[in-house]
Structure 1
Amino acid sequence: MSQLTAITQYMHQALATDVTGHSVDHVTRVLALANKILVNEPTADPFIVQATALLHDVYDDKLFDTPKAVAEAKLALHTFLIDIAVSPTIVAQIFQIIDNMSWSKTLDGDAEALDINGQIVQDADRLEAVGAIAIARTITYGAVKHRVLYDPKIAPQTQQSKADYRQANSTTINHFYEKLLLIKAHLNTDTARQIAQSRHQFMLDFLAQFEAEWVLDK
Protein backbone atom coordinates (compact mmCIF):
# COMPACT_ATOMS: atom_id res chain seq x y z
CA MET A 1 0.00 0.00 0.00
CA SER A 2 1.38 3.41 -0.95
CA GLN A 3 1.77 6.12 1.67
CA LEU A 4 -0.87 8.32 0.00
CA THR A 5 -3.33 5.41 -0.03
CA ALA A 6 -2.74 4.85 3.67
CA ILE A 7 -3.13 8.59 4.34
CA THR A 8 -6.38 8.64 2.38
CA GLN A 9 -7.73 5.75 4.44
CA TYR A 10 -6.70 7.51 7.66
CA MET A 11 -8.51 10.66 6.59
CA HIS A 12 -11.66 8.69 5.73
CA GLN A 13 -11.67 7.12 9.18
CA ALA A 14 -11.00 10.40 10.99
CA LEU A 15 -13.69 12.41 9.21
CA ALA A 16 -16.28 9.74 8.46
CA THR A 17 -18.85 11.12 10.89
CA ASP A 18 -18.32 14.86 10.33
CA VAL A 19 -21.49 16.91 9.85
CA THR A 20 -19.97 20.41 9.88
CA GLY A 21 -18.92 20.68 6.24
CA HIS A 22 -15.40 19.37 6.90
CA SER A 23 -16.19 15.85 5.80
CA VAL A 24 -14.53 13.45 3.38
CA ASP A 25 -16.18 15.06 0.35
CA HIS A 26 -14.76 18.46 1.35
CA VAL A 27 -11.26 17.03 1.68
CA THR A 28 -11.61 15.22 -1.64
CA ARG A 29 -12.44 18.51 -3.35
CA VAL A 30 -9.53 20.26 -1.62
CA LEU A 31 -7.23 17.55 -2.97
CA ALA A 32 -8.64 17.96 -6.49
CA LEU A 33 -8.13 21.73 -6.33
CA ALA A 34 -4.60 21.28 -5.01
CA ASN A 35 -3.81 18.95 -7.91
CA LYS A 36 -5.19 21.52 -10.36
CA ILE A 37 -2.95 24.22 -8.89
CA LEU A 38 0.03 21.85 -8.80
CA VAL A 39 0.01 21.61 -12.60
CA ASN A 40 1.14 25.24 -12.78
CA GLU A 41 3.57 25.15 -9.85
CA PRO A 42 6.51 22.95 -10.91
CA THR A 43 8.66 23.82 -7.89
CA ALA A 44 6.16 22.29 -5.45
CA ASP A 45 6.49 18.80 -3.94
CA PRO A 46 3.40 16.79 -5.00
CA PHE A 47 3.59 14.37 -2.07
CA ILE A 48 3.72 17.11 0.55
CA VAL A 49 0.87 19.00 -1.14
CA GLN A 50 -1.34 15.94 -1.57
CA ALA A 51 -0.66 14.50 1.89
CA THR A 52 -1.32 17.83 3.57
CA ALA A 53 -4.49 18.42 1.55
CA LEU A 54 -5.76 15.05 2.70
CA LEU A 55 -4.89 15.61 6.36
CA HIS A 56 -5.52 19.32 6.89
CA ASP A 57 -8.76 18.86 8.88
CA VAL A 58 -7.84 15.77 10.88
CA TYR A 59 -7.11 17.78 14.04
CA ASP A 60 -8.89 21.04 13.22
CA ASP A 61 -9.87 22.60 16.55
CA LYS A 62 -13.33 23.50 15.19
CA LEU A 63 -14.13 19.80 15.08
CA PHE A 64 -13.25 18.94 18.68
CA ASP A 65 -14.80 19.82 22.02
CA THR A 66 -11.60 20.33 24.02
CA PRO A 67 -7.95 21.33 23.45
CA LYS A 68 -6.99 17.94 24.91
CA ALA A 69 -8.92 16.15 22.16
CA VAL A 70 -7.17 18.28 19.52
CA ALA A 71 -3.76 17.44 21.00
CA GLU A 72 -4.60 13.74 21.07
CA ALA A 73 -5.71 13.79 17.42
CA LYS A 74 -2.52 15.59 16.43
CA LEU A 75 -0.33 13.11 18.30
CA ALA A 76 -2.19 10.17 16.75
CA LEU A 77 -1.61 11.62 13.28
CA HIS A 78 2.09 12.14 13.99
CA THR A 79 2.44 8.54 15.17
CA PHE A 80 0.60 7.26 12.10
CA LEU A 81 2.82 9.17 9.65
CA ILE A 82 5.98 7.90 11.30
CA ASP A 83 4.58 4.35 11.33
CA ILE A 84 4.02 4.43 7.55
CA ALA A 85 7.63 5.60 7.07
CA VAL A 86 7.08 9.23 6.12
CA SER A 87 10.38 10.92 6.93
CA PRO A 88 10.48 13.13 10.06
CA THR A 89 11.48 16.08 7.87
CA ILE A 90 8.40 15.72 5.69
CA VAL A 91 6.19 15.10 8.71
CA ALA A 92 7.42 18.39 10.16
CA GLN A 93 6.65 20.18 6.89
CA ILE A 94 3.12 18.74 6.80
CA PHE A 95 2.43 19.87 10.36
CA GLN A 96 3.93 23.32 9.76
CA ILE A 97 1.49 23.86 6.89
CA ILE A 98 -1.55 22.55 8.77
CA ASP A 99 -0.70 24.62 11.83
CA ASN A 100 -0.37 27.87 9.88
CA MET A 101 -2.77 27.73 6.92
CA SER A 102 -6.12 28.54 8.49
CA TRP A 103 -7.94 31.83 8.08
CA SER A 104 -8.37 32.22 11.84
CA LYS A 105 -4.65 31.66 12.43
CA THR A 106 -3.78 34.62 10.22
CA LEU A 107 -6.18 36.99 12.00
CA ASP A 108 -3.93 37.39 15.03
CA GLY A 109 -0.84 37.84 12.87
CA ASP A 110 1.02 34.89 14.36
CA ALA A 111 0.89 32.48 11.44
CA GLU A 112 4.26 31.41 10.06
CA ALA A 113 4.98 32.01 6.38
CA LEU A 114 4.08 29.13 4.06
CA ASP A 115 6.30 27.83 1.28
CA ILE A 116 4.83 27.04 -2.14
CA ASN A 117 3.54 23.68 -0.89
CA GLY A 118 1.64 25.33 1.92
CA GLN A 119 0.42 28.12 -0.32
CA ILE A 120 -1.11 25.58 -2.69
CA VAL A 121 -2.93 23.71 0.08
CA GLN A 122 -4.08 26.98 1.64
CA ASP A 123 -5.42 28.17 -1.71
CA ALA A 124 -7.21 24.87 -2.34
CA ASP A 125 -8.85 24.95 1.08
CA ARG A 126 -9.81 28.61 0.71
CA LEU A 127 -11.36 27.98 -2.69
CA GLU A 128 -13.69 25.52 -0.96
CA ALA A 129 -14.96 28.56 0.95
CA VAL A 130 -15.81 30.46 -2.25
CA GLY A 131 -18.76 29.64 -4.54
CA ALA A 132 -21.87 27.49 -4.57
CA ILE A 133 -20.57 24.67 -2.40
CA ALA A 134 -19.21 27.27 0.01
CA ILE A 135 -22.72 28.62 0.44
CA ALA A 136 -24.03 25.15 1.27
CA ARG A 137 -21.14 24.45 3.66
CA THR A 138 -21.61 27.78 5.43
CA ILE A 139 -25.31 27.20 6.00
CA THR A 140 -24.61 23.63 7.15
CA TYR A 141 -21.95 24.78 9.64
CA GLY A 142 -24.18 27.57 10.93
CA ALA A 143 -27.03 25.13 11.53
CA VAL A 144 -24.78 22.68 13.37
CA LYS A 145 -23.51 25.51 15.58
CA HIS A 146 -27.08 26.83 16.12
CA ARG A 147 -26.28 30.22 14.63
CA VAL A 148 -28.97 32.67 13.59
CA LEU A 149 -29.27 32.55 9.80
CA TYR A 150 -29.66 36.31 9.32
CA ASP A 151 -30.44 39.36 11.39
CA PRO A 152 -29.96 42.74 9.68
CA LYS A 153 -29.60 44.36 13.12
CA ILE A 154 -26.38 42.38 13.74
CA ALA A 155 -23.59 43.97 11.73
CA PRO A 156 -20.66 41.93 10.42
CA GLN A 157 -17.52 42.10 12.53
CA THR A 158 -14.56 44.08 11.23
CA GLN A 159 -10.93 44.11 12.35
CA GLN A 160 -11.44 40.67 13.84
CA SER A 161 -9.19 38.72 16.14
CA LYS A 162 -9.45 34.94 16.13
CA ALA A 163 -11.66 35.17 19.23
CA ASP A 164 -13.98 37.69 17.53
CA TYR A 165 -14.11 35.56 14.38
CA ARG A 166 -15.21 32.52 16.38
CA GLN A 167 -17.78 34.37 18.47
CA ALA A 168 -21.19 32.75 18.69
CA ASN A 169 -23.40 35.84 18.27
CA SER A 170 -22.57 36.52 14.63
CA THR A 171 -24.89 35.19 11.93
CA THR A 172 -24.45 32.77 9.08
CA ILE A 173 -24.97 35.48 6.46
CA ASN A 174 -22.48 37.75 8.24
CA HIS A 175 -19.86 35.05 7.73
CA PHE A 176 -19.84 35.90 4.02
CA TYR A 177 -18.78 39.46 4.82
CA GLU A 178 -16.43 38.46 7.63
CA LYS A 179 -14.51 35.87 5.60
CA LEU A 180 -15.84 34.40 2.37
CA LEU A 181 -15.97 37.61 0.33
CA LEU A 182 -12.48 38.52 1.54
CA ILE A 183 -10.82 35.33 0.36
CA LYS A 184 -10.35 36.31 -3.29
CA ALA A 185 -7.90 39.04 -2.24
CA HIS A 186 -5.90 36.63 -0.07
CA LEU A 187 -4.97 33.84 -2.48
CA ASN A 188 -1.39 32.94 -3.30
CA THR A 189 -1.37 31.49 -6.81
CA ASP A 190 -2.54 32.71 -10.19
CA THR A 191 -4.47 29.49 -10.74
CA ALA A 192 -6.44 29.93 -7.53
CA ARG A 193 -7.18 33.57 -8.30
CA GLN A 194 -8.57 32.58 -11.70
CA ILE A 195 -10.79 29.88 -10.19
CA ALA A 196 -12.04 32.29 -7.54
CA GLN A 197 -13.39 34.89 -9.97
CA SER A 198 -16.66 33.23 -10.98
CA ARG A 199 -17.14 31.65 -7.57
CA HIS A 200 -16.84 35.04 -5.88
CA GLN A 201 -19.41 36.55 -8.23
CA PHE A 202 -21.80 33.67 -7.55
CA MET A 203 -21.72 34.49 -3.83
CA LEU A 204 -22.39 38.17 -4.52
CA ASP A 205 -25.39 37.21 -6.65
CA PHE A 206 -26.66 34.86 -3.95
CA LEU A 207 -26.39 37.52 -1.24
CA ALA A 208 -28.17 40.10 -3.37
CA GLN A 209 -31.01 37.66 -4.06
CA PHE A 210 -31.16 36.51 -0.43
CA GLU A 211 -31.41 40.04 0.92
CA ALA A 212 -33.99 41.03 -1.73
CA GLU A 213 -36.18 38.08 -0.75
CA TRP A 214 -35.70 38.76 2.97
CA VAL A 215 -37.00 42.32 2.59
CA LEU A 216 -39.89 41.14 0.42
CA ASP A 217 -40.90 38.61 3.05
CA LYS A 218 -41.15 41.24 5.81
Structure 2
Amino acid sequence: MDLVTTIEKIVRIIMPKDDVHGLGHVLRVRKLALEIAKHVDKSVDLEILELAALLHDIGRLQSEKGHAKMSVEVAKSILELIKYPREKIEKVVNAILAHSFSENVRPICIEAQILSDADKLDALGAIGIARVIAYGGSIGRNFCYDLKHFKEKILKLKNLMYTDYDKMLADRKSKIIERFVKEFEEELSEC
Protein backbone atom coordinates (compact mmCIF):
# COMPACT_ATOMS: atom_id res chain seq x y z
CA MET A 1 0.00 0.00 0.00
CA ASP A 2 1.42 3.40 -0.93
CA LEU A 3 1.79 6.33 1.47
CA VAL A 4 -1.10 8.43 0.12
CA THR A 5 -3.50 5.47 0.38
CA THR A 6 -2.35 4.80 3.95
CA ILE A 7 -2.80 8.45 4.99
CA GLU A 8 -6.22 8.52 3.32
CA LYS A 9 -7.30 5.47 5.33
CA ILE A 10 -6.15 7.14 8.56
CA VAL A 11 -7.96 10.38 7.66
CA ARG A 12 -11.17 8.47 6.80
CA ILE A 13 -11.07 6.84 10.25
CA ILE A 14 -10.27 9.87 12.41
CA MET A 15 -11.88 12.86 10.67
CA PRO A 16 -15.48 13.72 11.58
CA LYS A 17 -17.89 12.68 8.85
CA ASP A 18 -19.40 16.15 8.43
CA ASP A 19 -19.19 18.08 5.16
CA VAL A 20 -18.34 21.47 6.65
CA HIS A 21 -14.77 20.97 7.91
CA GLY A 22 -14.62 17.19 8.21
CA LEU A 23 -14.06 14.31 5.82
CA GLY A 24 -16.41 15.60 3.11
CA HIS A 25 -14.51 18.89 2.93
CA VAL A 26 -11.10 17.17 2.96
CA LEU A 27 -12.04 14.83 0.11
CA ARG A 28 -13.53 17.67 -1.97
CA VAL A 29 -10.38 19.76 -1.47
CA ARG A 30 -8.21 16.82 -2.52
CA LYS A 31 -10.33 16.30 -5.65
CA LEU A 32 -10.20 20.02 -6.51
CA ALA A 33 -6.42 20.10 -5.93
CA LEU A 34 -5.86 17.18 -8.29
CA GLU A 35 -8.09 18.82 -10.91
CA ILE A 36 -6.19 22.11 -10.58
CA ALA A 37 -2.84 20.30 -10.91
CA LYS A 38 -3.87 19.20 -14.42
CA HIS A 39 -4.26 22.85 -15.45
CA VAL A 40 -0.99 24.39 -14.22
CA ASP A 41 2.09 24.78 -16.40
CA LYS A 42 4.54 23.88 -13.64
CA SER A 43 5.54 20.41 -12.54
CA VAL A 44 3.47 19.38 -9.51
CA ASP A 45 4.51 16.71 -7.01
CA LEU A 46 1.16 14.95 -6.69
CA GLU A 47 2.24 13.00 -3.60
CA ILE A 48 3.05 16.22 -1.71
CA LEU A 49 -0.19 17.77 -2.96
CA GLU A 50 -2.36 14.82 -1.91
CA LEU A 51 -0.70 14.48 1.49
CA ALA A 52 -1.15 18.19 2.18
CA ALA A 53 -4.79 18.07 1.03
CA LEU A 54 -5.58 15.02 3.15
CA LEU A 55 -3.90 16.47 6.26
CA HIS A 56 -4.69 20.18 5.88
CA ASP A 57 -7.52 20.23 8.45
CA ILE A 58 -6.48 17.35 10.70
CA GLY A 59 -5.73 19.89 13.46
CA ARG A 60 -9.42 20.77 13.69
CA LEU A 61 -9.75 17.64 15.81
CA GLN A 62 -7.85 19.55 18.50
CA SER A 63 -8.82 23.18 17.97
CA GLU A 64 -10.91 25.42 15.70
CA LYS A 65 -8.68 28.43 16.34
CA GLY A 66 -5.22 28.04 14.90
CA HIS A 67 -6.16 24.75 13.25
CA ALA A 68 -3.54 25.17 10.51
CA LYS A 69 -0.70 25.25 13.04
CA MET A 70 -2.14 22.23 14.83
CA SER A 71 -2.56 20.45 11.48
CA VAL A 72 1.11 21.13 10.75
CA GLU A 73 2.14 19.58 14.07
CA VAL A 74 0.08 16.44 13.46
CA ALA A 75 1.15 16.10 9.81
CA LYS A 76 4.81 16.67 10.67
CA SER A 77 4.69 14.06 13.44
CA ILE A 78 3.14 11.47 11.13
CA LEU A 79 5.53 12.16 8.25
CA GLU A 80 8.64 12.23 10.47
CA LEU A 81 7.55 8.97 12.11
CA ILE A 82 7.53 7.22 8.75
CA LYS A 83 10.83 8.87 7.73
CA TYR A 84 9.35 10.89 4.89
CA PRO A 85 12.08 13.06 3.27
CA ARG A 86 12.62 16.33 5.19
CA GLU A 87 12.53 18.52 2.06
CA LYS A 88 9.14 17.05 1.15
CA ILE A 89 7.85 17.49 4.71
CA GLU A 90 8.71 21.20 4.45
CA LYS A 91 6.56 21.52 1.31
CA VAL A 92 3.65 19.68 2.94
CA VAL A 93 3.99 21.91 6.02
CA ASN A 94 4.08 25.11 3.95
CA ALA A 95 1.03 24.01 1.98
CA ILE A 96 -0.93 23.30 5.17
CA LEU A 97 0.04 26.62 6.78
CA ALA A 98 -0.51 28.66 3.61
CA HIS A 99 -4.01 27.24 3.01
CA SER A 100 -5.35 29.10 6.04
CA PHE A 101 -6.98 32.45 5.28
CA SER A 102 -6.21 33.70 8.79
CA GLU A 103 -2.56 32.54 9.03
CA ASN A 104 -1.50 34.87 6.19
CA VAL A 105 1.44 32.64 5.15
CA ARG A 106 2.73 32.85 1.56
CA PRO A 107 2.99 29.58 -0.36
CA ILE A 108 6.59 28.70 -1.28
CA CYS A 109 5.77 25.97 -3.81
CA ILE A 110 3.17 25.26 -6.47
CA GLU A 111 1.63 22.53 -4.30
CA ALA A 112 0.96 25.10 -1.56
CA GLN A 113 -0.63 27.50 -4.06
CA ILE A 114 -2.87 24.74 -5.39
CA LEU A 115 -3.98 23.62 -1.91
CA SER A 116 -4.70 27.22 -0.90
CA ASP A 117 -6.85 27.72 -3.98
CA ALA A 118 -8.61 24.35 -3.65
CA ASP A 119 -9.53 25.05 -0.02
CA LYS A 120 -10.88 28.50 -0.91
CA LEU A 121 -12.79 27.13 -3.92
CA ASP A 122 -14.59 24.73 -1.57
CA ALA A 123 -15.88 27.80 0.30
CA LEU A 124 -17.48 29.15 -2.89
CA GLY A 125 -20.45 28.12 -5.03
CA ALA A 126 -23.38 26.05 -3.83
CA ILE A 127 -21.15 23.99 -1.51
CA GLY A 128 -19.81 27.20 0.01
CA ILE A 129 -23.33 28.43 0.73
CA ALA A 130 -24.26 25.13 2.35
CA ARG A 131 -21.06 25.12 4.43
CA VAL A 132 -21.57 28.65 5.79
CA ILE A 133 -25.21 28.04 6.72
CA ALA A 134 -24.51 24.59 8.23
CA TYR A 135 -21.53 25.82 10.25
CA GLY A 136 -23.35 28.93 11.44
CA GLY A 137 -26.32 26.86 12.58
CA SER A 138 -24.09 24.34 14.35
CA ILE A 139 -22.56 27.05 16.55
CA GLY A 140 -25.73 29.09 17.07
CA ARG A 141 -25.09 31.95 14.66
CA ASN A 142 -28.05 33.67 13.06
CA PHE A 143 -28.57 34.35 9.35
CA CYS A 144 -27.53 37.99 9.73
CA TYR A 145 -24.11 36.82 10.87
CA ASP A 146 -23.93 34.44 7.87
CA LEU A 147 -24.83 37.29 5.51
CA LYS A 148 -22.05 39.41 6.98
CA HIS A 149 -19.61 36.48 6.65
CA PHE A 150 -20.46 36.07 2.95
CA LYS A 151 -19.80 39.77 2.34
CA GLU A 152 -16.71 40.24 4.51
CA LYS A 153 -14.85 37.01 3.80
CA ILE A 154 -16.34 34.56 1.32
CA LEU A 155 -16.86 37.00 -1.56
CA LYS A 156 -13.25 38.22 -1.19
CA LEU A 157 -11.78 34.75 -1.71
CA LYS A 158 -11.89 35.00 -5.51
CA ASN A 159 -9.25 37.74 -5.31
CA LEU A 160 -6.82 35.42 -3.52
CA MET A 161 -6.43 32.76 -6.22
CA TYR A 162 -2.98 31.95 -7.60
CA THR A 163 -3.58 30.30 -10.98
CA ASP A 164 -5.60 31.47 -13.96
CA TYR A 165 -7.67 28.29 -13.94
CA ASP A 166 -8.55 28.83 -10.27
CA LYS A 167 -9.43 32.47 -10.90
CA MET A 168 -11.88 31.33 -13.59
CA LEU A 169 -13.45 28.73 -11.26
CA ALA A 170 -13.60 31.22 -8.38
CA ASP A 171 -15.26 33.83 -10.55
CA ARG A 172 -17.96 31.36 -11.65
CA LYS A 173 -18.55 30.10 -8.09
CA SER A 174 -18.57 33.65 -6.68
CA LYS A 175 -21.38 34.61 -9.04
CA ILE A 176 -23.51 31.88 -7.45
CA ILE A 177 -22.83 33.37 -4.02
CA GLU A 178 -23.46 36.93 -5.23
CA ARG A 179 -26.92 35.91 -6.52
CA PHE A 180 -27.63 34.10 -3.27
CA VAL A 181 -26.51 37.07 -1.14
CA LYS A 182 -28.75 39.42 -3.13
CA GLU A 183 -31.78 37.16 -2.53
CA PHE A 184 -30.76 36.54 1.09
CA GLU A 185 -30.56 40.30 1.76
CA GLU A 186 -34.00 40.89 0.28
CA GLU A 187 -35.55 38.19 2.45
CA LEU A 188 -33.63 39.12 5.62
CA SER A 189 -34.92 42.64 6.03
CA GLU A 190 -33.90 42.71 9.71
CA CYS A 191 -30.12 42.62 9.01
TM bucket by the smaller chain?
0.7 to 0.9
| SS of structure 1 residue aligned to 2:141 | coil
Q: 1:74-97 CA deviation, whole Å, 9 max, x = no partner? A: 544323223334212211221122
- Deviating runs (4+, > 3 A) in structure 1? 63-77
Taking a change above 3 Å as real, the CA distance of residues 64 and 178 of structure 1, as seen in their structure-2 partners, is: farther
Taking every aligned residue pair, what percent have the same amino acid on both sides? 29
Q: Is the contact made by 2:57 and 2:67 (CA closer than 8 Å) also made in structure 1?
A: no
The one-letter amino acid of 2:130's match is A
| SS of structure 2 residue aligned to 1:21 | coil
Question: Which structure features the higher share of helix residues?
Answer: 2
Deviation at 1:54, TM superposition (A): 1.0
| SS of structure 2 residue aligned to 1:207 | helix
Instruction: Provide the TM-score with structure 2 as the length reference.
Output: 0.87
Q: 1:15-40 CA deviation, whole Å, 9 max, x = no partner? A: 135x4711111111111111111012
Deviation at 1:206, TM superposition (A): 0.6
Instruction: Provide the TM-score with structure 1 as the length reference.
Output: 0.77
Task: Give the one of 104, 118, 130 matched to 1:136.
Answer: 130
Q: 1:117-152 CA deviation, whole Å, 9 max, x = no partner? A: 1000100000001110000001111112221221xx
1:82 aligned to 2:76? no
Q: CA RMSD in A?
A: 2.6
Q: Which residue of 2 aligns with 1:157?
A: none
1:176 aligned to 2:176? no
Structure 2: gaps of 5 or more residues:
none
Matches of 1:65 and 1:102 in 2, distance apart? 14
Matches of 1:149 and 1:32 in 2, distance apart? 30
1:211 aligned to 2:185? yes
Q: Which residue of 1 aligns with 2:143?
A: 149
Taking a change above 3 Å as real, the CA distance of residues 174 and 86 of structure 1, as seen in their structure-2 partners, is: same
Structure 1: gaps of 5 or more residues:
151-170
Q: Is the contact made by 1:149 and 1:173 (CA closer than 8 Å) also made in structure 2?
A: yes
Deviation at 1:195, TM superposition (A): 1.1
Task: Give the one of 139, 149, 163 matched to 1:189.
Answer: 163
Q: Is the contact made by 2:20 and 2:131 (CA closer than 8 Å) also made in structure 1?
A: yes
Matches of 1:183 and 1:54 in 2, distance apart? 21
Higher RCO (CA-CA < 8 Å; seq separation 6+): 1
Q: Is the contact made by 1:15 and 1:22 (CA closer than 8 Å) also made in structure 2?
A: no
Aligned length: 190
The one-letter amino acid of 1:126's match is K
